[in-house]
Amino acid sequence: MKKLGLMVSLILLSLCRADVFSQTEEQVSLYMFNPLLFNPAYAGTRGSINLVASGRFQWVGFEGAPRSQFLSFSAPVVGQSLGLGFHLSNDQIGARSRTSAFADISYSIKLNRRDHRLAFGMSGGADWQVYNFSRLYTTDPGDPAYGYYASRVRPNFGAGIYYYGERHYFGISVPRMLRNRLGNQDIGENLQRRHFYVTAGYVFKINSVVDFKPSTLVKISENAPLTFDLNANFLFHKTLWVGAMYRFHEAVGLNMAVIVKNTVSIGYAFELPVNGMVNARQWGSHEIMVGFDLRTKKKPVRSPRYF
């Protein structure tokens, strides 16, 4: 219990001290299918071996628009108490690219007989950032910034808390605690600062055929207004998710996912900007996802996991 208390204290201290400031992180529409990207406390909480791969193509038609790929894996290793996992990401926008690899660990405690649990998680890994300004077009080849190239590997760690039950969840996390720098004095510095995430969702049983799940992802960062995603998703016959989303002052969209034999999930999301990006409205943003849930024969899946 002393070790658990120390772990809880360290995570809470880290969360409270975290400056909720940072440069923009990767954008994800289907976040509800891959929470491990934002919160290490999610590792192992599904009670299955979980693998999720996704790709995002933002503002299709814009040269240098963001492109992102994600891969996550997690599994329980001691009942539902301890979870381990990792997540990888690759993000490119214009002259900047970032490849990240993080390992995740979580510890869950049961709060009551209704199987409500509270999980504490931490992650550790590194970001490989590359800035290649020669990819940019310029009218002044003599500009000292043109041709600038920098490549750095920087360690980082994150922390999170995740409260969940069969039909609800609530999480708080800071995926990157350290404020790493990349740049030089001639062209200025790029400061990677902290993000603060809040996630929440609840499932309402409408009838024997339909479930309704509203959810949200709130993001806070420096030099940018608070932003959040609101999602309204319906689950039909435990096999088909259909929903709509709104990102505050940024985008609206639709998403869907098909669950095959409670093991394979295939999802797609489409967004259109609402902030005046006329050209981007022609093709919008697209995101695809494939997930796998593998369980032992001793514990077969009788119904899909909502989270």
pLDDT value at position 8?
Answer: 42
Q: Which range has the worst mean pLDDT, 203-212, 260-269, 275-284? A: 275-284
Q: What is the pTM of this model?
A: 0.84
For residue 280, the surrounding DSSP H or E stretch is: helix 280-283
Closest by Cα among 213, 280, 287, 215 to 250? 280
Cβ atoms of residues 53 and 71 within 8 Å: yes
Which of 41-50, 148-157, 166-175 is least confident? 148-157
Q: What is the DSSP string of 15-28?
A: HHH-----S-----
Mean pLDDT estimate for the chain = 83
Positive or negative, the Cα torsion across 148, 153, 154, 160?
positive
Q: Which residue has the tokens 């030099």?
A: 223
- Give domain limits for the chain: 2-294
Do residues 26 and 38 make contact, with C-beta atoms less than 8 angstroms apart? no
Nearest Cα residue to 305 out of 245, 247, 270, 257: 257
- Measure CA of the first residue to CA of the last residue in the chain; give whole Å: 28
Report residue 292 CA to chain centroid gap.
17
Q: d(Cα 103, Cα 74) in Å, to the nearest integer?
A: 10
Q: What is the pLDDT of residues 115-146, one digit of tens each?
A: 899 999 999 999 998 877 666 655 556 555 55
Task: Report the CATH number of the 2-294 domain.
Answer: 2.40.160.60
Give the pLDDT score at 118: 95
3-state secondary structure of 113: coil
- List the single range of 23-32, 193-202, 209-218 with lowest mean pLDDT: 23-32
17 by DSSP, 3-state: which? helix
pLDDT in tens, 29-81: 999 999 999 999 999 999 899 999 999 998 887 777 889 999 999 999 977 78
Phi then psi for 6, rounded to 5 degrees? -65, -40
Both tokens of residue 106?
A: 């979580």
State the CB neighbour count (10 A cutoff) for residue 42: 30
